[in-house]
Amino acid sequence: MIFATALMLMAAMMLMLVRLLRGPELYDRVLAVNSFGTKTILFLCVFAFLIGRSDAVDIALLYALMNFIATIAILKFFRYRALDVALSRTRRRGETR
């Protein structure tokens, strides 16, 4: 049962890889990368049960956090072509917009 889920997740990862390689636009590829990451996180959690080591869940937790950063970085670079542009501002005391 767990192995069947692992195989299904792996098949989903391979399908997402096809979209990553094919996707005509950049946004298709970004979507595919993000989704591939989510499926890999799920696969790692299931795999931790298969091999009996719970350490793999730590890696899944790490990648859940890192995937977000990578997606934001790619989108920001593609749109603003700069690193130092602020996407948002915090309002300080005494400041008005």
Partner 1 sequence: MNGEFLTPIDAFTVIDLIFMSMLVVVGIAIVRLKDLFAVVMLSGVYSLVSAAWFVSLDAVDVAFTEAAVGAGISTVLMLGAMLLTARQAAPTKPARHWVALIVVCATGAALLYATVDMPSFGDPLSAPNAYIGLEYLKRTGPETGVPNVVSAVLASYRGYDTFGETTVILTAGLGVVLILGLGGPAIKRKKTSAAKAKAAKIDQSKILGAHHVVLRVVSKMMIPVIIIYGAYVQFHGDFGPGGGFQAGLIIASAIILYALIFGIDAAKEAVPPSLVRLGAALGVLIYGGVGVINLLLGGNFLEYNILNPTHPSHGQELGIMFVEIGVLVTVASVMLIIFYGFTSRQPDISDKDW
Partner 2 sequence: MSELLHMLDILRPYVAGIALLSGGVIVLIGASGVLRLPDFYTRLHAAGVTDTLGTLLVLLGLILLSGFTLLSGKLALVGLFLLLTSPAATHAVANAAHKAGLKPRLGTVQSQPPLDASGDPS
Binding mask 61-90 for partner 1 (x = CB under 8 A): xxx-xxxxxx-xxx-xxx-xxxxxxxxxxx
Q: How many CA atoms, within 13 angstroms, populate the side-chain half-sphere of residue 40? A: 18
DSSP conformation class of 92? P
Counting contacts by CB under 8 A, is residue 1 touching partner 1?
no
Q: Yes or no: say if 5 and 43 are a contact pair by the CB < 8 Å rule.
A: no
CA distance 49 to 45: 7
> Which residues contribute to the site for partner 1 (CB under 8 A)?
3, 6, 10, 13-14, 17, 20-21, 26, 29-30, 33, 36-37, 40, 43-44, 47, 50-51, 53, 55-56, 58-59, 61-63, 65-70, 72-74, 76-78, 80-90, 92, 94-97
